[in-house]
Amino acid sequence: MKGNGHKMTTRHSILALMFALLSGSLGVASSHGAQSDHLDLVDAQGNIRKPPDYRVRYQALGVYTVLDPKGNEMHYTYASPGTAEFYGKNGRFADGTVLVKEVFATSHARLTTGDAHWAESTKVWFVMIKDEKGRFPGSPLWGNGWGWALFKSDAPDKQIATDFKKDCLGCHIPAKETDWVYVRGYPALGAK
Amino acid sequence: MKGNGHKMTTRHSILALMFALLSGSLGVASSHGAQSDHLDLVDAQGNIRKPPDYRVRYQALGVYTVLDPKGNEMHYTYASPGTAEFYGKNGRFADGTVLVKEVFATSHARLTTGDAHWAESTKVWFVMIKDEKGRFPGSPLWGNGWGWALFKSDAPDKQIATDFKKDCLGCHIPAKETDWVYVRGYPALGAK
């Protein structure tokens, strides 16, 4: 009996350890999960919130550097986890995909490789959520297959766009053929 | 006995199921896991391979754009999964962290926001692997707390650095105070 009790204890310990490992590792798998519906960022009226911790949790698709005598900018685009893998397989963005474009003012210095420019401070964020279902036909912030939102650094949680055609679409016209997204500058979408 | 046998079968089935789930989910946890030892990229002599699929699997820490009349460049830095979270908590890179700096030639066009530059084609890759243990004291490619490697686009799998002090360190001198890495240009390390 003593030997059997020992075996049972061992078995229970193994079970407990496996449960602990399993729940922990499933937590990781879930937080990195691919095509979950990111409409948890959207309320019943179609108002979009900015996702938390996107710099760490999201994939960085790529960066555009815009040179402007009035102040250079770097535009980082982050995407919800799994976006690059889905795009690589299907050539399109999955329904529910969240894109965050963070526009930075830059600093620069002459470093060992030359005149190096980097992202210094955030100016604005644009958020887009892929919508294949036409979820908010009455909202002026949803259309052309996406939900659209704009946040400025002086009030980072306040969505301030009122009409995506007026506030957002203008800048996206050159990218109309690629679902309004500037995919050609994003190495992660042409992944190697 | 029959009842007991049934219980045992159930228990074994649960165990088998858990093993299956566990190995699957640990696979995910491991590929996304934070501080796993990435020395699977290193052979017994300290030779470093370039990690596969880093554009999708790794975190993009940030980008430097280097303006040069002879040809602008964009320098993307990718890090093994979990690097940004660990750095955010501990202010340093975990032992085994892998960094890939991919240097691109750029294209540019006058788009709606101005003169926009983006990454076009890869020129070289630099790979660093954090080494707190001084694993290869006799190798000229390991030192100053890192393993160092260099690959060029004409032979992307051929490591060509011979001495990190000669081939790598020169460009990193301005970043000595931050463990030889240009952390100030990496939004993911000062994550918000």
Q: Do B117 and A66 touch (CB under 8 A)?
A: yes
Report how many helices (DSSP H) and strands (DSSP E) chain B contains, helices first.
Answer: 5, 7
- Cβ neighbours for A95, distance < 8 A, ≥ 6 positions apart: A35, A37, A130, A131, A132, A133
pLDDT value, residue B28: 33
Q: Do A66 and B114 touch (CB under 8 A)?
A: yes
pLDDT value, residue B111: 87
What is the pLDDT confidence band of residue A178, given thresholds at 50, 70 and 90? very high
Q: Do B171 and A113 touch (CB under 8 A)?
A: yes
- Cα-Cα-Cα-Cα dihedral sign, residues B178, B183, B188, B191: positive
Contact B75, B66 (CB under 8 A): yes
Q: Is the pLDDT of residue A67 over 70?
A: yes
Cβ-Cβ contacts under 8 Å between A and B: the total is 162
pTM, to two decimals? 0.80
Question: What are B29-72's pLDDT values in tens digits?
Answer: 333 333 455 678 999 999 999 999 999 999 999 999 999 999 99
Coil, strand or helix at B92: coil
Q: Is the pLDDT of residue A28 over 90?
A: no
Q: Do B85 and A188 touch (CB under 8 A)?
A: no
- Cβ neighbours for A152, distance < 8 A, ≥ 6 positions apart: A123, A124, A125, A158, A160
- Exposed / middle / buried, residue A184 (Cβ in 10 Å: 0-12, 13-18, 19+): middle
Q: Do B117 and A67 touch (CB under 8 A)?
A: yes
Chain A nearest-CA residue for B22 = A22
Mean pLDDT of the B153-180 span: 94
ipTM of the complex: 0.79
Percent of chain A with pLDDT over 70: 80
What CA–CA distance (Å, rounded) separates B64 from A119?
A: 8
Query: Which of A118, A122, A182 is the mutation pick for testing B, counting most B CBs within 10 A?
Result: A118
Report the 10 Å Cβ neighbour count for A90.
9
Query: Which of A68, A83, A113 is the mutation pick for testing B, counting most B CBs within 10 A?
Result: A113
What is the pLDDT confidence band of residue A37, given thresholds at 50, 70 and 90? low
Q: Is the pLDDT of residue A60 over 90?
A: yes
